[in-house]
Amino acid sequence: MKKIIIFTLLFTFCSSENAETVEDTSVEITIAETIEPDNTSTTTSIEVTQLESFEEALYLVNKDLSSVSYLAPKQFLNSNLEIVEGITNEITGEFQLTLDECDAADSCLQVRNLSISADLSTLKSGSRTRDGAIQNKWLESKIFPNAVYTVDEIIFPNNNFDSKIDETVVGVLTIRNIEISVPFSITAYMEDDKVYVSGITEIDTTWFGFDAPTKFNAWEVLNPIGIKVSIVAEK
């Protein structure tokens, strides 16, 4: 019988200033509409089953099957808006999983020592000029090459040892050596001892010490910026 656990990391955090402006509201809708079809197509194929208990299973990220990308709303002077996506497969990471009985429910899923790192210097958007400017001028990826997401421990009540759960957790996102606590929602399931992670978050570049890219009033990138994650991990 297939055993599936998938982690869909959905980091949702927006500043109060962005929420108050019409422009940022439209950007949030655009980013959500861009991602929503992928989430729908992924979750509709999930078959919820019951799993047997296991303890402290170590999972490592398979970078060949994983990706992290940014979704940047680019506003032109003539009011046209496009979503620029940059992506990298240079991802490393690991975490420990335990599924067993607990006091909070008849079973609990525990995630410990989760750390996912993406190499920002390898982001590709289809434009060498744009990639060079983002990496050198804004992200300064030669100095700060990695974005890192960490969680020390998460415990999810999991009724009946279900293979799929929906919860909200908090971890730490580090970009340019600046750490931000990030609340996010997850949906989790597993297949053939592989752990799948997909999700989206929104960040403001100023949280990490730099303004969004702009050029001579011809165009500007609008906050918030979307971050899309698709990760496969295995023992």
Domains of the chain: 5-234 (2.40.128.110)
Q: Is the confidence at residue 84, as pLDDT, over 60?
A: yes
Q: What is the CA radius of gyration of the chain?
A: 19
Angstrom CA distances, 64 to 39, 67, 91, 128, 235, stand at: 20, 8, 9, 22, 15
Read off the tokens for 154.
């998460």
Which helix or strand (DSSP H or E) is residue 71 part of? strand 67-76
Q: Which range among 7-11, 62-66, 197-201 has the greatest average pLDDT?
A: 62-66
Q: Is the confidence at residue 82, as pLDDT, over 80?
A: yes
Contact in structure between 203 and 13 (CB atoms under 8 Å): yes
Q: Which range among 48-52, 121-125, 183-187 has the greatest average pLDDT?
A: 121-125
Contact in structure between 155 and 140 (CB atoms under 8 Å): no
Mean pLDDT of the chain: 78
Residue with tokens 């890219």: 213
Beta bridge partners of 8: 187
Q: Which residues contact 123 (CB under 8 A, 6 or more apart)?
A: 69, 70, 86, 87, 88, 131, 134, 135, 139, 141
